[in-house]
Structures are given as C-alpha cells and as structure tokens.
Chains A and B, each alone.
Chain A
Amino acid sequence: MPIYRLEIENRPAVPDALATKTAQTLSAWLGLSPARIRTRKVYLCDLDMSEAEAKKVLAAIADPVIEVAALGALPDGEPGDPPVILTVSFLPGVTDAVGKSVKTACEDALGRTLTGQVYTGTMYLVWGLPRADVERAAAEVLHNPLIQRIRIDEPPRKPDLGVPRAGATGAPRTEIVALRGLSDEALERLSRERLLALSVPEMHATRDHFEKEGREPTDAELECIAQTWSEHCKHKIFNAPIEYTDPAGSTRRIERGVFKTYVVAATEDVRKARAASGIDGDGGDFLVSVFSDNAGVVRFTDECHLVYKVETHNSPSALDPYGGAMTGIVGVNRDSFGCGLGADLLANVWGYCLGKPNHTGALPKGLMPPRRIRDGVHHGVIDGGNQSGIPYMRGFELFDDRFTGKPLVYCGTVAAMPVETAGRPTHEKFTAPGDRIVMIGGRVGKDGIHGATFSSVELNESSPVQAVQIGDPITQKMMFDMLAEARDRGLYSGITDNGAGGLSSSVGEMAEASGGAEIDLARVPLKYPGLAPWEILVSEAQERMTVAVPPDKLEAFLALAARREVEATEIGTFTSSGRLVVRYGEEKVCDLALAFLHGGLPKVVRTARWSPPARAFASTADRDGALAARPIGDLVVSMLAQPNIRSGERYARHYDHEVKGLAVVKPFVGVFRDVPSTATVMRVRHGRDEGVVLGEGLHPHYSDLDTHAMALACADEGVRRVLCAGARIDRMAALDNFCWPDPIKSATTPDGEHKLAQLVRACEGLYEACVAYGLPLISGKDSMKNDATLGGVKISVPPTLLVSVIGQMKDVRCALTLSPRTPGDVVYLLGETEDACGESELSRLLGLALDGVPRTAPERFAARYQAFAAAHEAGLVRSAHVLSRGGLAVALSHMVMASELGLSVSLDGVGAGLSPAIALFSESTGRILLSTRAEDAAALEARLAPHALVRLGTVEPGSSGRGFLRIRQGGQTLAELGSDALRRAFQEESHAV
C-alpha cells in the first residue's frame, strides 16, 4: 500500500496562532527568540487508496478559504532563507485520536470503508534559530520522548513517508512460570522484574495455591493476580490490621484496618443516626449506594440520584502530564458513568498539587520542570473535559516543592442517575449467569499495561513507559451516548469501567456478582497485532467499558452500537462456575478460582508508631519581630500574591464553565468574575430548580504538625464551603481521597511507621468530623506510594487528604456567594479566632517555622453551622464566605474584589489579645464571614450570638466605583487598600512564571 503524505498550513495572510503561542513559550521558558515560526499539520495516510483518491481527500479536508495543502511537501519558505524544520509525531502504538478522525474523513470523502491507519504530526518551521536551539526546544518544551518522536530537517528535504506502524507478527504465546522451589529472593526478583508489585508473602500465597492445584501458573494468571491484588485495586494498606502506638505511647491493635474502622464506620454511624432521627421520612434512605460501586450514590429528588467520584492519576501524570491528566478526567468519567446501570455526567472537578511553577535550580534527572507538568496537566484535563461536554465546577492548585517528584492530580465527576431505568432501580446491576460479556469502546493495545501495579510502587528510572496512556475523549463520548440509549432501552444488566487492571479487573469484579466468567481473548479487537494474551488481559487501553448483556438483548445491543459507530464485541459469558476462565482461541491461558482471586490475598499486620521528627520552631518573639517590621497593608498585599492564594483564573478560563446551561454559582464570581467562589451551585435537570453544591478542603501543610488536625480541617472546610453557598445541612456527603507517601517501613522508607501513624491519626480526625457533621463518606480512593526516587534523590509528598463535599439545595435561587451586596449591610465574623498560624500561609510568607495548628472542635462547630443554616433559611444571610488559607485578610480581600464595594472592618473583637497580623492571618477553622441587612442585624445577632459572633463593620459604597478594604483596630486605621492594589497582587499575570 503506498503511503500518502498530506501537508496543510495556513495561507500566509492568515495568522498562525499555534506558532505565536509556541514563540511565546520558547521565549518565556527557554529565553529563545526565533525570528519567525510557521506550523503545519501532517497526515500520513497508510490506507488502501489511490493517488487520485488521496487528492480527493486532500480537497475535502483542507480549508479552501484559509489553508494551502499539498500531497507530498509544501514549499519550505523562500530559497536562501531556509528554516529548521522540527516534526513531532507519535511513537508506535500511541493513541492518535486525530489520525482516527482523518481516517473517518477519508472514508466519508471516498464513500467506502478503508483499511489501515492515519498517523499525524505537527511541523514547526523555525527561522532565526540554530539547529541546536531547535533541538533544545524540542527536548524541553515541544515533545515528550515517552510518547513522541521527533525529526529535524533542513531544506531541501524529501517528504518523509515513515510511519510508526506498531505491532509484531508471530503467534501470541502464553508462558508457564515456574514458582515451585524458588527462594524468597528469587520470588522477590520475579515480582520486581515482571512489575507484579507482589510482596514475598503474596508470592508465597500464589505459589501455595498453584501447588494445591497441582500445576504452575501461566503468565496470564500471575498478571491477573498481580492486578487484582495491587495496592491500587485492593487497598491493602487501608485494609491491613495495624499495631498502632499513639502519640501518648500506648499501643493498640486496629484489627479491621483503618478503612473499616474509620471510613466505613463513619458512614455507618451517620446512617444509623439518620435512621434514629427519622430524618429521611418515607422518601427512602439518603445513602443509596456507598462503597460497593464505581462511585457513591445519594438521594436527591424523586427523579434522580446524585453520583460522585474523585480519583487521582498521579503516576501517569508524572511521566506524561498531558496524557496522564487527560486519562485521569476521562477515566473518572467512566467511573461515574459506570455506576449502577449508568448515570448522566453532569460536572467535573479537578485539583492539582504541584511543585512551585517558578522553581529554579537543578532537578533530579528524569523529572520535568514543575511549570511543564503544570501546563501539561491543565491542558490534558481541559481537552478531556471540554471535549466530553462536561463543565468544570471546582478546581484548585496547591504548590509545594514536595510535589515535584509525583504531582497529585485529582479528577472527579458528578453525575445524575435516573431513579429508575426501564422499570428497574438504576443503582443496582442485575448481572446473571448466561449474560454475555461485551467489551465496548476503544481497542486494546500495549498502552497502559501495568498501570495498576505501576501506581502501587514508587516512581523511578525504570518506570515502564507503556504505563502511559493517552485519552481519546471523542471515542468515549460516542460510547457514552450509545450506552445511555442502551440503558434507557434496558439492553444491559451490568456495566463497569475498564480502568486499572483492564479486562482482568473489570471481568473479574463483575464475575463476583454472577459467580464466574469465561472469555476468549482472541475475540478482543486489537489496535495492532502481536499482543501476548496476558497483555490483552491487563492492558489499560482507554475508552473501554465491560457490559453484561442478557442473551435476548445481545442482537439489539450490538446493532445499536454498530449504528452509532461504536465498536462492541462479545468476548464471553458470565457463568456460575466459581472460576475466571480465560482462553485465547482454543488455548486456556487462565483458570482461576474467584475465591482465591478475591479472597486469597494474605493479610499482613502493619506497624504504626507516632514518632515525628524533632522540629525547631520560631519563637513568638521572633515571629512578632518579623511582623512588626512590615505594615499591615504590605502584608495583606504580599499574602494575596502567594502561590497558594493567587486567583488561579489564568488556566481556569480554558476549562468550560457553562456547557449544559445549568451553572448557577460558577467557579469564579464577582463583578470581574475573577474571585474563586466559596462553593459552586448547579441545576441538575433542565426545568427544575433543585441544585447540587460542591466544595472541598485540602490542607497538606498541616500534616507537618498533626495529621489529625489536618483531616479535621479538611472536612470542616468542605462542609463550611457548601453551607456558605446555601446547601441543606441535612443532605451533605463527602468523598475522601488519601494521597500518602509510602507508609511501609523499608530500607528506602525508614520513617514508614510514623507515616502509617500519620494515616491512622488522619483517619481518626476524619471519622470525628464526619460523625459530628452528619457527613457520610460515600466513596473515595487511597493512593499510597507517592514517592519518586530519581538520580539518588527521594521526593515524597506530604500526607495529603482531599475531602470533597457534595451538598444539595431545594431551590438554586436561594444560593449565596461570598460577595457582599448592598452598602449599609453589616459584616460579621462567626466563630473564634485563635493564634493558629502553624504551617499557615503566614508562616510561608515569613519563611518561619511556626507551631500551633488550627484546632477543630467538630461538635461545637456543628451546632454553630446548624444555627447558621437556620439563619440562612430564615432569610437573614446576604452573603457568606469561609476563612481558609490566609485567614481573615484573604477572605475580606475576596469580598472587596468580588463586590467592588468598600469594607470597613474593626479587628477589636477578633480573638482575645491577638496582634492585628495574627487576627488577620490566623487560619483557625470553623469560621464564616457573613453579611446581613442592617434591619436584620438584631435578629441575626439573637440567633448567632451563642456561637461566637463578632460584628466587624459595614459595607460601604465603593470609592469612585472601586472597592476598598479599610482595617481598623482600637480606633486607628491600620490599612486602607483599594481593589486595584489587591487585584494586582492577586492576578497571576502580574507575576513572572
């Protein structure tokens, strides 16, 4: 088959926005100043078509108004002024979504189906830079060698027709792996070399099992066990019995592990309390489906439930930020979609913990600069979310150099699940023996092999490049559209995501419901030939789901898929044999007892011992000395420019905030729409006024002092955020996402026992908060190996817990924002301010280690929030905002920038005996800033006075239309700052990145 090369570029008079952007990035990041750049699209068509047909295709896909195109090569500029030409294209086997669409376009233009593939690339024609600089630009900005290849040409050139065809010939083989008689050392080596991430006791259990079966395992069986038993899938640390020595030195055993003892227990205790109080009446339990499915489900209206899941995709994002983050968002979309019989995706959330973007200085070899990770992660989630037609509702960035090794990439999705579908409750799958197993969506390749086991170990030089995946959101969107139709027609009985562990996990999990499964891997459609059966079994190639289809619905299901151009293949049958049987054609490659696969994992007792490293803190005198040297106004402005305080709007505007037309309180609010909202509010269905409210809490810095206080602070802030926006206090639920440094003691992790104790204390704190606030945990995720060892340097993340809270409103028109509304309104601070500056933004601003972490009293705070919610219900609250990072000063600044009104506040009642700076920057939890009408002030005070209500001052008209913040104490004005000064500091554009 001849290969045709198509080159397309803009006409000279038409601007080339990619070239402009590239020049800006090269200048800003590398200090390179090319005289000129032009870019070009390249499509290499390895298809069964003639030259005449290729010309027809070219005419159909090139824009006749703005582009010029050639079959072969376009002229490379004027003779005598040659550019250096960089071409970036994919490595063999890497998902090329654009290539797929070009092939579709070719087929449409020719009116027939074609065999083969299209490979795409981008050409950069660079003038005014030597070849060496173009090579540097390629290496440091324009390509990632894990997924892409480059070629540099200097004219005259011959059009390159080389395509990265993937695959191999030869019959796929299954190996027998001998375990019998191997020493522990040999078993350990085998596990490491095959990237099984199985411990020696786990290898023992496997060996013993096959001894009992009277045979040795196949490679496919070993891989299947490794995926199923991976930390990623089985949450071994979360489920392990723990010998725990607490800070007081007393030791006890947490027999059922932290997950059951704290996380599940919190939810069960909330469930019992709800039942005892009769709060749910006859409407059915608030908790519809928790911990048992891909996502958590809570009751919302008579028509639909709410589904929520937040995932992390840390390890892949470290290697390929764009692809790793994109697969993070489209992957969690599949989790929420694949809950019950399928839910309609409603909103995305994201959050990134990253190294500081202005990081300078050397990095360990193998690490990307934080700004490149940041840029890639954002663009991956932007493209994945936008192309899926899902708005984002919450987003955050948090910077700390300890996230330079492994960034934390949180992606989450809210969905609306119809209460009933085709006469059945949608939240229950009903897979039965005899139902056919159908794989649907993308094809299987080597991409994403060992993702589950890879994310269960630290990142190092030998991390597998094939663990990197790239998403194809459009293939997935087409699959979701088709599956939603199939769901509404009742064409399937069960569904789950093909995520970590691929088919081995999805079929293995679903087989538990029916009691067995048998599949034939030879039927699985492949991206290219040459995959071994075990690779097909565990590949995490994206955009795939596994569906259980009753035999009488199979024809209709497959016909609908074909009509929607979605690839669906029957690959086997659910059985009741108690075994997972996998064939490759005639050959049996895997025959595992489900009881062993899901129950054979040996339990290891872990040791946790609270033994924090000794730290020296700055004295109060040192701190107050440092503060005294700086005027209050200067401190406030400097605080707004801190990396973790800044607006974050720069990247956020590239995410869709509006698609679906349901958003009510958006991620940014205010006159200039540049202040991050306290929480967001969205309608769920067109024509209805009920809403969903989202907020979260994340405070990894407090972990350096006490993870117990950290977890309480996270849950507390999540709750406060949704309440400030007007959420019902009786309908809140939360997700817990733990991202921990390796908490298992070993040669490379000598402090593992303390890190595990930190986990225990965090879980204790989370439990206390959830029970006090009536906040069930409905789903979550734990990621336990967030360490990177590169070039002999180990970088571990701080213990990090994200608590994502989902609230509900009966009527979105009662929503509040942080923005004060009318001059004359009275501003209050609700809740005590203490000297709580330990690991605060103030400590980082001053560069001082401070002690004194915020102490959360969940029961006392819960009573306060009840009173606050009742005051809102009574119409007494006009605006509300949380105090979080940066304390009162940052919250007040937000209010001024959002409203462009004046705030004149007195610190006199804030805290007892606190200096103004501490009153302004303390991060005490449990506090809300609110405003009310002057005529309602007495009524509000009567309700909230028992909960530490402080009258701060009043809202005033802006000065010449612009807001200002006036801070007073003891009759003296300490600072008066205009909104322009606040905004200059707050906006990232004004900082060099």
Chain B
Amino acid sequence: MPSDGQRLAPKEARDVRVLVLTGYGLNCEAETAAGFSRAGATVDLVHLSEMLERGGRADALAGYHILAFIGGFSFGDHIQSGRVFANRLRFRLGEALCRFVDDGGLALGVCNGFQTLVCLGLLPGVSRARGTPLAAQQAALVHNDRLGYFDTWVKLAVDPASPCVWTRGIGPTIEMPSRHGEGKLLFLDESLRDEILASRLVPVRYADASGAPTEVWPDNPNGSPGGMAGLCDPTGRIFGLMPHPDAYLYPENHPDWIRQRDAGTLPAAGLGLRIFENGVRAALAG
C-alpha cells in the first residue's frame, strides 16, 4: 500500500517493469522485489548470468523501465566493494547499460548496488555524453573512517532542490537502516565535487538529531564529507545510496515503532517504500 496517501493507479503501475539483478553474493533481492511489488510494479528477478547469456546485446535491457542494483557482497567485496561485479557488467553488458540509460531508463542502487553504479561511472555520471560508452570512474566509496561493517539506523536529510526523481516529496528527513563497511564518498578532484554540489546531485545526507547534515559518528556512520550518503546523475533518474530503503518496507522495521504507535505517529507503511513508489511514478510519467 502506498505510504503517502497518493495511490498509484494499480493498473498502470503493473505495466512498469523492474529488473532486479541477482547472484554472485548479492543478497537483498527479496526485499528489493517486495519494495517494487508493493509499489505496484512488475518485478523480474534475474541472475546476472542469464543476462550475460543473452550475449550482451545492446538491447538486452529493452522492455525494462527500472533497473535495480541491490545490496549484498558481490564476489565477497574482495579487492574492493562492487569492483568485480561492476567490471563484469562493464566488460559484458556495458553497451546495453548505456542504451538503457540513454533511453531514459531509471536505476536504483542500494549499498553494494550504489558502489557498483559508482564503479561503472554511471554515478555521478556527469561526464558521459549520450551514445558514448561507459565513462571512467570518477568517485569512490572507501572504507569507513572507523574500519569495519557497522549496522545502525540513520537519519537522512533530503535535498528538495536535487533533480533526483527517487526522493521527490520526501523529507525534510527520512530514517532507514545503514549497514556497510565502505561508504565514505570521495571524488576524483575538487572541481568535480564542486560541480556535483552545484548541480545538487547529492539528494541525501546523513543528519544529526536536529536534521542537519553531519560528519560525526555514529549519525554519520562512515565519515563521508558533508554527510553525503548518496548520489544521482544530472537527469535525476539514476540514484544510488548507502542506506537501505529496502529494509524499511514495514512500519515495524523502525526501532521505535512501538513508541511511534503509542504517540500516534506510526506510518501506514514503512517509509522506505516511498523511494520505490517515486521510482514507479517516474517510470509512469515517462
């Protein structure tokens, strides 16, 4: 059920087709599929090996409106998180990915999926022109300042001026779980960073209790500068973030759900669902 009262037309939403790529140590397929399904879309879970079997044709992703890059430990995060999986995509499905993006396809990357999108150069995606191959990587998600995987709920400040279609109407803050070991976002150089900030391509930032962006642990679990928790491309249609909206589909996922219910503030559905609904809505809008 939509969480914000604005129901998506169920019939139309069903026409939105979502591809969730699985396999090689990724593990958030069930909750990602549940998120898009609850938002009304039609979801295909497909092992990446099946996509590669299709010969890596340029139209391998045709017919899908949304591509989901899910969380997990692709190839164990060995070498670097997302690296081996992203290379496989780059070498063997690169053309299809470019075509998908050029055709206005939407993409959501969560955690390992965000790391993958960054390794692929699809985020922040400022330097690639239409019709060209995948760009070189320009940003990186590096080890948390405090080494190691860390699990905590975080509050994200949402930038209403960001072109990101996935975060539209959400805010000023949204909470969700964060759990990763490599989430600190760095850029190739300062001019790129300035360009990204000027273009408002950072839709979500770790925030303190007051809702202000923070670099202080544990509100900011990885030390990301300026609290940057995610990125979108200039079209706003490709969005990646470290925290997990897919793990907040039910109101009872929230650590304070009993307190919220006592206070009369428990939402009808988990607020992470709003990200999925926004994606489906954007796909319907074309």
Do the beta carbons of A658 and B151 come within 8 Å of each other? Answer: yes
Could you tell me if A65 and B186 are in contact, using CB atoms closer than 8 angstroms?
Answer: yes
Residues of B within 8 A of A389 (CB): 25-28, 72-73
Are B75 and A658 in contact, with the CB atoms below 8 A? no
On whether A659 and B76 interact (CB within 8 A), knowing A105-B87, A673-B255, the answer reads: no
Q: Which of A77-85, A661-669, A757-765, A837-845 is found at the contact surface with chain B?
A: A661-669
User: Chain A 653-688 against B: per-residue CB contact (8 Å), 1 yes, 0 no?
Assistant: 111111111111010010101000000000100110
Shortest C-beta distance, B61 to chain A (Å), equals 19
Let me know if A659 and B23 touch, CB within 8 A. Answer: no
Question: Chain B residues with Cβ under 8 A from A655's Cβ?
Answer: 149, 151
Report whether B151 and A105 are in contact in the complex, using a CB–CB cutoff of 8 Å. Answer: no
Instruction: Decide if B249 touches A661 in the complex (CB within 8 Å).
Output: yes
Check B143 against A17 for contact (C-beta < 8 Å): yes
Q: Complex formed: what's the CA distance from A159 to B77 in Å?
A: 26
Binds A, one of B4-12, B78-86, B125-133, B165-173: B78-86
Contacts A65-B138, A108-B87, A822-B262 given: A656-B149 contact, CB under 8 Å?
yes
Q: Is the CB of A474 within 8 A of B76?
A: yes
User: How many Å lie between the Cα of A63 and that of B143 in the bound state?
Assistant: 13
Across the A-B interface, the 3 shortest Cβ-Cβ residue pairs: A389-B27, A101-B78, A661-B31
Does the CB pair A664–B253 fall under 8 Å?
yes
A812 to chain B, nearest CB (A): 6
Assess the A63–B80 pair: CB atoms within 8 A. Answer: yes
Which residue of the partner chain, among B53, B78, B153, B244, contacts A563 with CB atoms under 8 Å? B53
With A654-B150, A661-B34, A661-B247 as contacts: A477 and B25 at CB distance below 8 Å? yes
CB distance from B224 to the nearest CB of A (A): 12
B3 contacts A by Cβ under 8 Å = no
**A218 contacts chain B at the CB level, 8 A cutoff:** no
Interface residues of A (CB under 8 A from B): 10, 14-15, 17-18, 20-21, 41, 60-61, 63-66, 97-98, 100-102, 104-105, 108-109, 111, 382, 386-389, 472-474, 477-478, 481, 563-565, 653-664, 666, 669, 671, 673, 683, 686-687, 812-813, 815-817, 819, 821-822
Chain B proximity of A212: nearest CB distance (Å): 51
Q: Please, could you name 11 A-B residue pairs with CB atoms under 8 Å apart, sorted by A? A: A21-B147, A66-B140, A97-B76, A100-B78, A389-B73, A473-B76, A477-B73, A481-B22, A659-B247, A686-B31, A816-B258
Q: Contact mask B244-272 → A, CB, 8 Å, 1/0?
A: 10111110110111110010000000000
For the complex formed, measure the closest distance between the CB of B219 and the CB atoms of chain A, giving whole angstroms. Answer: 12
- Chain B 82-124 interface residues, beta-carbon cutoff 8 Å to A: 83-84, 87-88, 91-92
Contact between A659 and B28 (Cβ–Cβ < 8 Å)?
Answer: yes
Q: Which residues of B contact A661 (CB under 8 A)?
A: 28, 30-31, 34, 244, 246-250, 253
- A686 near B145: Cβ-Cβ < 8 Å: no
The answer to whether B47 and A564 have CB atoms under 8 Å apart is yes
Q: How far is A659 from B146 in the complex, measured between Cα atoms in Å?
A: 21
Question: A478 to B23, Cβ gap below 8 A?
Answer: yes
Taking the complex as formed, is B187 at the interface, i.e. its CB lies under 8 A from any CB of chain A?
yes
**Nearest CB of B to A45, in Å:** 12
Task: Enumerate chain A residues within 8 angstroms of B138, measured Cβ to Cβ.
Answer: 65
- Give 1 or 0 for each of B34-63: 1 = CB within 8 Å of chain A CB: 100010000000010110010000000000
List 4 additional A-B contacts (Cβ < 8 Å) besides A653-B151, A687-B38: A14-B142, A389-B26, A473-B73, A659-B31
A664: chain B residues within 8 A (beta carbon) = 250, 252-253, 257
Q: Which of B167-188 contact A (CB under 8 A)?
A: 177, 179, 186-188
B140 touching A663 by the CB < 8 A rule?
A: no
Residue of B nearest to A383 (CB): B149
Main secondary structure of the interface of B (DSSP, over half): mixed
Q: For residue A10, which residues in chain B have a CB less than 8 angstroms away from its CB?
A: 142
Q: Which residues of A contact B186 (CB under 8 A)?
A: 14, 65-66
Choose among B22, B84, B144 the residue that contacts A105 (Cβ–Cβ < 8 A): B84
User: Are B76 and A65 closer than 8 Å at their CB atoms?
Assistant: no
Residue from A61, A388, A673, A816 within 8 A of B153 (CB atoms): A673
Contact partner, B142, options A66, A98, A382, A673, Cβ 8 Å: A66
Q: Closest residue of chain A to B53, judged by CB?
A: A563
Of the residues B25, B146, B262, contact of A478 by C-beta under 8 Å: B25
When the two chains form their complex, are residues B152 and A108 in contact, meaning their CB atoms are under 8 A apart? no
Report the separation of the CA atoms of residues A658 and B28 in the bound assembly, to the nearest whole angstrom: 10
Contact with A along B174-206 (1 / 0, CB 8 A): 000101000000111000000000000000000
Task: Output the least CB separation between B21 and chain A (Å).
Answer: 13
**B3: min CB distance to chain A, Å:** 14
Cβ contacts under 8 Å, A382 to chain B: 148-149
A104-B84, A673-B255 as given contacts; A657 in contact with B30, CB under 8 Å: no
CB of B236 within 8 A of chain A?
no
B76 near A686 (CB under 8 angstroms)? Answer: no
B83 contacts A63, C-beta separation under 8 Å: yes
Question: Is A474's CB under 8 angstroms from B34's CB?
Answer: no
- Residue A659 contacts which of B27, B49, B142, B250 (CB distance < 8 angstroms)? B27
Query: Do A109 and B253 touch across chains, with their CB atoms under 8 A apart?
Result: no
B72 cross-chain contacts in A, Cβ below 8 A: 389
Rounded to whole Å, the gap between the CB of B20 and the closest CB of chain A is: 13
Complex: A101 Cα to B149 Cα, angstroms:
20
* Contact across chains for B83 and A105 when beta carbons are under 8 A apart: yes
Max chain A Cβ within 10 angstroms of own Cβ: one of B75, B152, B253, B259: B75
- Taking a contact as CB atoms under 8 Å apart, the answer to whether B249 and A98 are in contact is no
Residues from chain B with a CB closer than 8 A to the CB of A17 are 142-147
CA distance A104 to B75 in the complex (A): 9
Residue from B79, B136, B247 having most chain A Cβ neighbours under 10 A: B79
Say yes or no: B150 contacts A63, CB within 8 Å: no
B residues less than 8 Å from A565 (CB atoms): 24, 49
Question: In the complex, what residue of chain B is closest to A664 when comparing beta carbons?
Answer: B252
User: With A65-B140, A661-B253 given, is the CB distance from A97 to B78 under 8 Å?
Assistant: yes
Q: Which residues of A contact B258 (CB under 8 A)?
A: 815-817, 819, 821
Contact of A564 among B27, B49, B244 (CB under 8 A): B49
Contacts of A60 in B (CB 8 A): 87
Give A81 Cβ to nearest chain B Cβ, in Å.
25
CA distance A17 to B217 in the complex (A): 15
Distance in Å from the Cβ of B255 to the closest Cβ of chain A? 5
Contact (Cβ within 8 A) B75 A656: no
- In the bound complex, CA of A98 to CA of B183 (Å): 20
B73–A18 contact, CB under 8 A? no
B235, CB-defined interface residue at 8 Å: no
Q: In the assembly, what is the distance between CA of A131 and CA of B53, in Å?
A: 53
Which residues of the partner chain B approach A657 to less than 8 Å between Cβ atoms? 151, 177, 179
Minimum CB–CB distance for B265 against chain A, Å: 14
Docked Cα-Cα span, A315 to B156, in Å, equals 45
Which residues on the A side are within 8 Å of B230 (C-beta)?
none
Chain A residues with Cβ below 8 Å from B234 are none
Instruction: Tell yes or no: B71 within 8 A of A by CB.
Output: yes
Query: A477-B25, A478-B25, A683-B250 in contact; A653/B84 too (CB < 8 A)?
Result: no
Which of A18, A101, A819 sits near B79, CB closer than 8 Å? A101
With both beta carbons as reference points, the residue of chain B lying nearest to A15 in the complex is identified as: B145
Distance between Cα atoms of A98 and B179 in the complex (Å): 21
Residues of A within 8 A of B83 (CB): 61, 63, 105
* A813–B252 CB distance below 8 A: yes
Partner of B91, one of A14, A101, A108, A564: A108
Q: How far is the CB of A854 from chain B (nearest CB, A)?
A: 30
**Cβ of A21: which chain B residues have Cβ within 8 Å of it?**
146-148
Contact present for A686 and B179 (CB under 8 Å): no
Query: Cβ of A671: which chain B residues have Cβ within 8 Å of it?
Result: 256, 259
- Pair B79/A474 contact, Cβ less than 8 Å: no
B140 touches A108 (CB 8 A): no
A697 CA to B137 CA, complexed, in Å: 51
The verdict on B139 contacting chain A, using a C-beta distance below 8 Å, is yes
Cα distance A978–B72 in the bound complex, in angstroms = 41
Residues of B within 8 A of A815 (CB): 252, 258
Given A478-B23, A478-B25, A653-B150, verify A660-B30 contact (CB < 8 Å). yes
CA A473 to CA B88, docked complex, whole Å = 20
Q: Which residue of A lies closest to B179 (CB)?
A: A656
A18, A64, A388: the one contacting B136 at CB < 8 Å is A64
Q: Which of B92, B139, B143 contacts A65 (CB 8 A)?
A: B139
